[in-house]
Amino acid sequence: MLVILIVLLVIFAFCFGVGCYTFFAACGRGKEINWSDEEAVKATPFGQFYGNIHLGRLWLQDHHARDVFMTNREGLKLHAVWVPSPKAKGTVIFAHGFHSCGLSDFSLAFDLYHNLDMNILLLTHRTHASSQGKYITFGVNESRDMYDWILYHNEHLGNYPVLCSGLSMGAATVMYLAGMDLPENVRGFVADCGFTSPKEIIAHVFKQKTHMPAWPFLWAADLSARFFAGISLNEMHSTQTLLKNTRPILLVHGMEDDFVPTEMTRRSFDACGGDKTLLLVEGAGHGVSFLVAREAYLEKIYQLVEKVQGKEK
C-alpha cells in the first residue's frame, strides 16, 4: 500500500512540476530581440523576414512615427508606436503575436494602410519589449489592454473609426475583444491565424513537443496561471466571444499552418456573429498568408476598410 502511495505521489509531483514549468515557459517574458541587429534577428524564427523588418523600420522613421505610452487598468505602463496619416479617415490598431513585435508582424502592411488614409497604432503587448508586465496571458489580459488602448486613442489621438487587426496571439486578442461592449467608433476586425483559447493552443503545442497527453499537466498549468497571472486558461474562448460580435470581421488562416491548427479559425468563423468573411490560403504556413496570397488578401482588406471608413455603398 505504501509503495502504491509513493508511486502516486511521484506521478502527481511529476505532473504538477511539468504543468508549472509549462506555464512559466509559455507565459514568462521571453528573450528580448534587438530588431535593428541583423545577426540577432536572423538567429530567431523571424530571420527569414529580416529584409521586411528592416524596410518597415525605415518606413516608420520616414513617416515620423512616435512613441506613445498608456497606463492600463492594472497600472502597467504599455508602449505603442503612433503614425498619423495626413488625410486620416480611420485608425488601424495592430496587435502582434507571441514573443514577437508589431514591426516583425506588420511591416508589410504599414504602407498599405497608410495609402488607405489610415493612422497606425502599433501596440507592444504587456510582457514584451518596453511594455511592463510579468506574464503573457495569450490574449486574455491583452484584449483588455487593447480596449484601454482604444480609450486612449479616442481621448488623446482622435476619435477616428477604428479597425483592430491581430496576428496569431494578436488575432486571439482581437477575437476576444470583439465580444466586449466597445466604443461606437470601433468598426471592424482582422484576425489572422488566431487560436481559440489559451488552454487549447498550449495543449496543442505541448502535445506536439512532448508527444504526451496534455490533460494531466494542463491542470497544474491552469492553477499556476490563476495564482501568478490572475487568469484561467479557460477564461476566454473565441467561439464564445465571437457569438457576441456585431461588427465586420475578416478571419484568415494558412492551410499549411503547423503551429495554430486551421480548424481553430474554422470553428471561430462558424460561431461568429455579424458580417463575417473567411479567407483560407492554400500553401501558407503560420502568419504568412499575406505573402502567399497577396492579391486575395488585399481585396478583402480593401472591402473591410471601406466598411470601417463608411464608404461602402
- CA 215 and chain centroid, separation: 25
Confidence band for 19, pLDDT divided at 50, 70 and 90: confident
69 grid coordinates: 505610452
Question: Is the pLDDT confidence value at 194 over 50?
Answer: yes
More confident: 97 or 30? 97
Give the mean model confidence (pLDDT) for residues 103-127.
95
Q: How confident is the model at residue 246 (pLDDT cuts 50, 70, 90)?
A: very high
pLDDT 10s digits, 155-179: 999 999 999 999 999 999 999 999 9
| Sequential DSSP letters for 232-267 | -TTS--HHHHGGG--S-EEEEEETT-SSS-HHHHHH
Mean pLDDT value of segment 111-124: 97
Q: How far is the C-alpha of 99 from the C-alpha of 287, rounded, in Å? A: 14
How many Å apart are CA 243 and CA 221, to the nearest integer?
27
Which of 18-27, 33-42, 184-193, 252-261 shows the lowest per-residue confidence on average (mean pLDDT)?
A: 33-42
Per the CB < 8 A criterion, the answer to whether 167 and 287 are in contact is yes
pLDDT of 126 over the 70 cut? yes
Q: Indicate if the pLDDT at residue 189 is higher than 50.
A: yes
12 pLDDT higher than 80: no
Give pLDDT, residue 217: 83
pLDDT tens-digit profile of 275-313?
999 999 999 999 999 999 999 999 999 999 999 998 654
Between strands 186-192 and 162-167, the pairing is parallel
The phi, psi pair for 75, rounded to 5°, reads: 90, 10
For residue 226, with 0-12 CB atoms within 10 Å meaning exposed, 13-18 middle and 19 or more buried, which class applies? Answer: middle
pLDDT of residue 11: 63
User: 268 by DSSP, 3-state: which?
Assistant: helix
Whole-number pLDDT of residue 47: 76
pLDDT value of position 254: 96
Tell how many helices (H) and how many strands (E) occur in the chain.
13, 8
Per-residue pLDDT at 219 = 87
Q: Answer with the residue of higher pLDDT: 286 or 55.
A: 286
Whole-number Å distance between alpha carbons of 220 and 247: 37
Instruction: Please give the mean pLDDT across all residues of the chain.
Output: 91
The 10 Å Cβ neighbour count of residue 108 is 16
Strand runs (DSSP E) across the chain, as ranges?
A: 66-71, 77-83, 90-95, 118-124, 162-167, 186-192, 249-254, 276-281
Confidence of residue 22 (pLDDT cuts 50, 70, 90): confident
Whether 124 and 102 have beta carbons less than 8 Å apart is answered as yes
User: Which has the minimum average pLDDT: 25-34, 121-130, 255-264?
Assistant: 25-34
- Is pLDDT of 233 > 70? yes
Q: Count of CB atoms within 10 A of residue 155's CB?
A: 10
Kind of pairing between the strands at 77-83 and 118-124: antiparallel
Judged against a pLDDT cut of 50, whether residue 4 lies above it is answered with yes
Q: What is the pLDDT of residue 77?
A: 98
Helices 215-224 and 198-210 cross at an angle (nearest 10°) of 130
Q: If you average pLDDT over residues 9-29, what whole number do you get?
A: 78
